[in-house]
Every structure is written in C-alpha cells, then in structure tokens.
Amino acid sequence: MSYKVYTTPEFDRLFEELPKDDQTEIDKLTKKELPENPYQGRALGFKFFREKRIKGRRVYFLIYDDFILVLMVAIGEKKTQEKDIAQIKMNREAYLKLAESISKKI
C-alpha cells in the first residue's frame, strides 16, 4: 500500500530556501522513499512523528495510518532541533486536522 505525501505551507517555504542539491534529495525522499516505507528515519517520542537526516538537515514528518498519508511539516538543522520538535508537538492537533481535511479531498 502506497502512502500519499503532502506538505504544509511552512515546509514548502523552508524547502524553497534550500540549495538545489538538497531539494533533489528531499524530493527523492518524498516522491520515492516515503510512499513505500513511511516508517524510516528516527522516531521522535511517537511512532508516527519522525525525522530523517539529509545532508546535515533534518526533515520532520508525521505519519497518519488511518488516512494512508504522510505530512511533511518542517526542515531544520541540528542547532534548531529542540525548538523544531517542540513546535511540531505543540501544533500536533492542527496537523491532525489538516490531515483529516486532506483525506476528505482524496
């Protein structure tokens, strides 16, 4: 079963600021790797909240098995890791509502 991968506006903004080679690596992750195996990378307190390191950056995503959906939420660096994780955890309910909204449109 193949998962659908979606991005948040914040993720898109951060993605656009990256160098092209980093964008290429993240595209490969979102278009080829995550749809087939969303549970890669390191779990961050919850099985469904994960990070994947790509070229020194951390790509954060949430997995929603109920909706067969992966939501890409942020991109950060080691020095902002704690802040990024705290922000994502704080907005967990908003991300769930977004995932529910997306799943209704599918």
Cβ of 8: how many Cβ atoms within 10 Å? 18
pLDDT mean over 8-34: 97
Nearest Cα residue to 25 out of 55, 68, 64, 58? 55
Protein fold of 4-105? YaeB-like fold (3.30.2310)
pLDDT value at residue 24: 97
- The mean predicted confidence, pLDDT, of the chain is 96
Statement: residue 105 has pLDDT above 90 = no
pTM, two decimal places:
0.95
Edge-to-edge, what's the strand order for the sheet holding 49-54? Answer: 4-7, 69-77, 57-64, 49-54, 42-43
pLDDT value at residue 92: 96
Q: What are the φ and ψ backbone dihedral angles of 38, each rounded to 5 degrees?
A: -70, -20
Statement: residue 106 has pLDDT above 80 = no
Would you kindly state where each structural domain of the chain is located, as residue ranges?
4-105
**What span, in angstroms and rounded, lies between the C-alpha atoms of 77 and 88?**
14
pLDDT > 70 fraction of the chain, expressed in percent and rounded: 99
Nearest Cα residue to 54 out of 80, 26, 79? 26
